[in-house]
Amino acid sequence: MKRPLRILIVEDSKDDADLLLWEVRSGGFDPAHLRVDTLATMGAALDTREWDIIVSDYTMPQFTGLAAMRLVQERRLDLPVIIVSGNIGEEIAVEAMRAGASDYVMKNSLSRLVPAIERELRENEARRAGRAAQRELQENEARLRGLVSNIPGMVFQLVRAGESGYLFPYVSEGSLALLELTPRQLLDEPARFFDMLFDEGRVTLEQDLMRSAREKIAVNWEGRIRTPASRTVKWLSLRLSPRIVDGTRVQWEGIMMNISRSKQAEIEINESRQRLSELSAHLQSAKEQERTKIAREVHDDIGGNLTAIKIDLLWLINRLGKAGPDMLEKARAIEALADRTMEITSRIARDLRPPLLELGLLAAIEWEAGEFQSRMEIPCIVNCAGEDIAVDPELASALFSIFRETLTNISKHAHATAVHVHLGVGDGKVSLSVSDNGRGIQNTDLLKAGSFGLRGMLERGRNLGGEVSFKGAPGTGTTVTVRLPLAAAGQPAAALTENATDAP
């Protein structure tokens, strides 16, 4: 199939124009053409139709090829113009080329016309594609600049400069608000950024960059700087992605943002959490001390008084043998009431603090397991790595409370038929593991409202520098594991900041 070609012929001779068209058709084109020979008709043709190429005679009675090329240039049209003339010398040919002609062909050598047209069409298409790519590139750059200018931070590129430092090939305008330095200052003196870093932050950032260059992984760094002008301390976050340029060199692209506000909030939350944890630990300790005190008072004072009442009642009953049956019956009723009160008092004292804790953690756990087994009729087997484990009274009380809470949860929710308990010591920690074969705990059980028992166990473990974990799945049972350090856990240091601001 012949290729379509929109050709404007500037020629005063119809015969010469027909000859040109015959040559074009012979070269495989199907020309849609128009012949003009004046400035006015050529201007009208350019205004009303689109053309692929212009073929113009150089000298005509009312028009010239130079005038035709000037008209194309005035209209700023991207159209190749080929001069076809029967009599053109070297000087005129040079003048035509300087005036903007793409090529010139002699009328007695029209065999060159089609190759010239094909070449000019290819080159013109390449120029159009190049200009379109350039426009697209400019539009993308403008779009990118618009996006970057609205990012709350600084977008930048970073490269390693030998062994001495780093360079910034690109820095966005956000550097002025963030670092109090213009992009040009950072481009000219990149060390000024690293001079702002606190010592520990500079070390970690350089380590992260070296690792990123070695392993080709992203950099996520947070640290503090002190700005050069206002001496303001800010928390910065850097997110960088590496890529290889020039075959071997690593270049990072990323963003730097001020996170002072969120960091200050994080520090305040951590400090608040620490204070709440300390308060919770203090309240728990005070509660345990109060329970121990009340248990002793119930056992020693009330229990002692009840025992004395019991003795006096027995003395009285022995002497009422000859008295009336009514008095003897009343005395025995008081004796039964004293027995029940002594039993209740003993149970309250045990619930407040098992007296067996004074004999050791293992003894208390075995006693509680026995009570659970008797009450629930569920086998509760206790294994211990050793005869007993000597732990701090506070630690023993915490472990026992968690154990008791675990058995309570099993009795209420697990639907288990067997419970296994393991107590042991290793790596400077005491561990307690309680497993059942019940329905199995789920993550939603830990999150639902009202799960204060589970949360209390977790908090108690954290307060003592250890951990409490729950593992289970539907139908496979649940295992509660407690690991607490034998030595008292140190208080975590509160995170500090100075002069942190919310500046950009």
* Burial label, 46 (beta-carbon count in 10 A; 0-12, 13-18, 19+): buried
Q: Which residue has the tokens 């084109």?
A: 29
- Look at residue 495 in the predicted model and tell me its pLDDT: 32
- Sequence-ordered strand ranges (E) for 57-153: 81-85, 103-106
Q: Which residue has the tokens 């050793």?
A: 386
Which residues fall within 8 angstroms of residue 123, CB to CB, at 6 or more apart?
80, 102
When computed from its CA atoms, the radius of gyration of the chain, rounded to whole angstroms, is 48
* Burial label, 421 (beta-carbon count in 10 A; 0-12, 13-18, 19+): buried
Nearest-10 Cα torsion for 159, 161, 162, 164: -120
Q: Rounded distance, CA 177 to CA 149, Å?
A: 12
- Look at residue 152 in the predicted model and tell me its pLDDT: 78
Q: Which two tokens stand for residue 298?
A: 């119930």
SS3 content of the chain, % helix, strand, coil (to 5): 55, 25, 25
Q: Which two tokens stand for residue 360?
A: 């050791």
- Sequence-ordered strand ranges (E) for 45-93: 53-56, 81-85
The sign of the CA dihedral 118, 123, 127, 130 is positive
The partner residues of 381 in beta bridges, in order of sequence, read 420
Residue from 179, 181, 156 nearest 239 by CA: 156
* Burial label, 215 (beta-carbon count in 10 A; 0-12, 13-18, 19+): exposed
Q: Which two tokens stand for residue 300?
A: 């020693």
Residue 450: Cβ within 10 Å count: 7
Q: Rounded distance, CA 331 to CA 312, Å?
A: 11
Residue from 419, 424, 417, 413 nearest 384 by CA: 424
- Look at residue 255 in the predicted model and tell me its pLDDT: 92
Q: Rounded distance, CA 190 to CA 165, Å?
A: 8
DSSP letter at 323 equals S
Q: Which two tokens stand for residue 377?
A: 């009729």
* Tens digit of each residue's pLDDT, the chain (504 residues): 789 999 999 999 999 999 999 999 999 999 999 999 999 999 999 999 999 999 999 888 888 888 998 999 898 888 899 988 877 667 777 778 888 888 888 888 888 899 999 999 999 889 888 888 888 888 887 777 767 666 778 999 999 877 668 999 999 888 988 999 999 999 999 999 999 999 888 999 999 999 998 899 999 999 999 998 889 999 999 999 999 888 778 899 999 999 988 888 888 888 777 777 666 666 666 666 666 667 666 666 676 777 777 777 777 777 666 666 767 677 777 777 777 777 777 667 666 666 666 777 888 888 889 888 988 889 999 998 766 677 777 788 888 888 888 998 888 888 899 999 999 888 888 889 999 998 888 776 765 655 666 777 777 788 788 888 888 888 888 999 999 888 644 333 333 233 334 434
Q: What angle do CA 212, 213, 217 make, to 5 degrees?
A: 35
Q: Rounded to two decimals, what is the model's pTM? A: 0.43
Q: Rounded distance, CA 240 to CA 392, Å?
A: 49
* Burial label, 101 (beta-carbon count in 10 A; 0-12, 13-18, 19+): buried
Q: Rounded distance, CA 382 to CA 138, Å?
A: 77
* CB hemisphere CA count around 469 (13 angstroms): 9
The sign of the CA dihedral 403, 407, 412, 417 is positive
Q: Rounded distance, CA 224 to CA 258, Å?
A: 10
DSSP letter at 500 equals B
Angstrom CA distances, 78 to 70, 74, 103, 119, 310, stand at 12, 11, 15, 15, 121
Q: Which two tokens stand for residue 485?
A: 């350090």
Q: DSSP letters along 416-433, please? A: -S-EEEEEEEETTEEEEE
Q: Rounded distance, CA 354 to CA 138, Å?
A: 81
Q: Which two tokens stand for residue 13?
A: 């001779």
Whether 10 and 55 have beta carbons less than 8 Å apart is answered as yes
Q: Which two tokens stand for residue 195?
A: 């001079």
Q: Which two tokens stand for residue 109?
A: 């050598």
Q: Which two tokens stand for residue 359?
A: 């004999």
Q: Rounded distance, CA 212 to CA 203, Å?
A: 14
Which residues fall within 8 angstroms of residue 458, CB to CB, at 6 or more apart?
468
- Look at residue 501 in the predicted model and tell me its pLDDT: 40
